């Protein structure tokens, strides 16, 4: 397996690793500013060079190009497999009844025989990511794991695009299947937020809307905790996510607030809020967030049994970037300590991350989390 990475920024191409120019890639990923996907000229220039390339990608809240975090760019990561087969499919959400069915339909388009792993890229706004993940995993064989994430739009939350084949559009989901015994996949997922306050029972919720905690209006209670930050909701909610746990979970899911409903005193989240579970407020701790990136990398190494993978596919939440600010690249540095210098980094800052919490769990939607998928060939 060989990896080549190119960056288009400020009207110029930049080769991240000039020594890897002589490959014939089957699979490519492109991540970048949403405006670049509306003008596909740069992408067309690349696909003309590699006419057999299966290229997928999405808009972001920041692109990862090996050891850098970029904005207003397009990062292309091209992968040449020696023994692994690749298949990609897409659907539009508008073609199906609901998000759950969209996930099922996308997964059914992939050939199930010899399927080893599935990567997913999805529209990032107005999507219940939990339902999407449930739909996909409902169709996949039990031994096949799912990782990926939701597209971003900086800190604007206005429009996201997903790219596949010849063009990018809104309301699209792309699934990429990796096939065969040669591909080695690892995955790790970690947060790093500090929790505070008591655990509160979720007494009324529907899908991704939280109405009551301990039989009290959720929005009112949340505002009491936030104090002066409450006046900047929902954007300030990125700084104070919720950890959701139940009796069966050792590791809670993190949920980010996307909106508030003043009339019903409710909070609207990016993924499901299960009634009967427990919620606890969380706040940022810079050191623990960076340690979380390190721990996610360690988990991926343990999962794959390989300490220096060829490629690390990295998804970190936009909320982490807004908290870490100029320290954001320390996430990459913490992961580099685990993988060494030979592993190529690609990925983006997202509106939601998709991964299992361990080797035996089914994939879930996460927020405010660092999720890593490593890819190598035996």
pLDDT-derived band at 57 (thresholds 50, 70, 90) equals very high
Q: Give ∠ CA 310-313-4 in degrees, rounded to 5.
A: 50
Average pLDDT over residues 295-316: 95
Among the residue ranges 53-67, 125-139, 243-257, the one predicted with the least confidence is: 243-257
Q: What is the pLDDT of residue 371?
A: 97
Return the number of other C-beta atoms located less than 10 Å from residue 40's C-beta. Answer: 14
Q: What is the pLDDT of residue 337?
A: 97
* Whole-number Å distance between alpha carbons of 178 and 343: 19
Q: What is the pLDDT of residue 157?
A: 83
Average pLDDT over residues 297-314: 94
For residue 131, with 0-12 CB atoms within 10 Å meaning exposed, 13-18 middle and 19 or more buried, which class applies?
buried
Average pLDDT over residues 189-202: 90
Among the residue ranges 6-15, 155-164, 299-308, the one predicted with the least confidence is: 6-15
What is 85-145 written as a DSSP string? EEEEEEEEGGGSSSHHHHHHHHHHTS--TTEEEEEEEE--SS--HHHHHHHHHHHS-TT-E
Return the number of other C-beta atoms located less than 10 Å from residue 155's C-beta. Answer: 14
Return the number of other C-beta atoms located less than 10 Å from residue 143's C-beta. Answer: 8
pLDDT beyond 90 at 61: yes
pLDDT digit string, tens, across residues 336-350: 999 999 999 999 999
For residue 58, with 0-12 CB atoms within 10 Å meaning exposed, 13-18 middle and 19 or more buried, which class applies?
buried
Residue 191, both tokens:
């947060």
Average pLDDT over residues 99-114: 94
**Of 303, 188, 300, which Cα lies nearest the Cα of 251?**
188
pLDDT digit string, tens, across residues 28-51: 999 999 888 776 678 888 888 888
pLDDT beyond 60 at 20: no
Average pLDDT over residues 316-340: 94
**Residue 238 to residues 71, 111, 320, Cα–Cα distance (Å):** 20, 38, 8
Average pLDDT over residues 99-128: 94
pLDDT digit string, tens, across residues 160-178: 999 997 777 888 999 999 9
pLDDT digit string, tens, across residues 207-246: 899 999 999 999 999 999 899 989 888 878 888 889 998 7
pLDDT beyond 70 at 21: no
């Amino acid at each position: 397996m060989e990896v080549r990475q190119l960056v288009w920024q400020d009207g110029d191409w930049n080769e991240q690793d000039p020594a890897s120019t002589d490959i014939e890639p089957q699979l490519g990923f492109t991540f970048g500013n949403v405006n670049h996907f509306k003008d596909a000229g740069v992408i067309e220039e690349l696909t003309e060079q590699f006419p057999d390339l299966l290229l997928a990608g999405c808009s972001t809240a920041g692109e990862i190009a090996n050891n850098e975090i970029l904005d207003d760019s397009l990062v292309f990561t091209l992968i040449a497999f020696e023994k692994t087969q690749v298949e990609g499919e897409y659907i539009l959400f508008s073609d199906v009844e609901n998000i759950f069915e969209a996930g099922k339909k996308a997964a059914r388009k992939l050939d199930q025989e010899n399927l080893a792993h599935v990567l997913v890229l999805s529209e990032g706004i107005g999507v219940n990511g939990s339902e999407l993940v449930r739909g996909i995993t409902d169709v996949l064989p039990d031994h096949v794991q799912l990782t990926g994430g939701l597209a971003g739009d900086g800190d604007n939350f206005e429009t996201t695009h997903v790219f596949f084949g010849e063009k990018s559009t809104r309301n699209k989901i792309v699934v990429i299947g990796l096939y065969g015994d040669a591909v080695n996949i690892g995955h790790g997922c970690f947060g790093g937020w500090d929790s505070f306050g008591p655990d509160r029972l979720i007494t009324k919720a529907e899908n991704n809307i939280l109405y009551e905690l301990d039989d009290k209006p959720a929005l009112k209670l949340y505002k009491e905790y936030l104090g002066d930050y409450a006046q900047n909701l929902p954007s300030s909610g990125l700084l104070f996510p919720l950890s959701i746990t139940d009796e069966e979970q050792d590791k809670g899911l993190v949920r980010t607030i996307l909106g508030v409903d003043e009339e019903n005193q409710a909070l609207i989240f990016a993924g499901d809020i299960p009634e009967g579970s427990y919620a606890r407020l969380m706040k940022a701790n810079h050191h623990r967030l960076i340690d979380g990136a390190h721990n996610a990398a360690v988990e991926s190494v343990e999962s794959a049994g390989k300490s220096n993978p060829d490629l690390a596919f990295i998804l970190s939440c936009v909320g982490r970037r807004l908290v870490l600010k100029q320290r954001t690249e320390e996430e990459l540095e913490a992961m580099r300590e685990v993988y060494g210098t030979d592993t190529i980094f690609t990925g983006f800052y997202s509106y939601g991350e998709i991964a299992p919490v361990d080797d035996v769990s089914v994939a879930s939607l996460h927020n405010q989390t660092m999720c890593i998928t490593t890819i190598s060939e035996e």
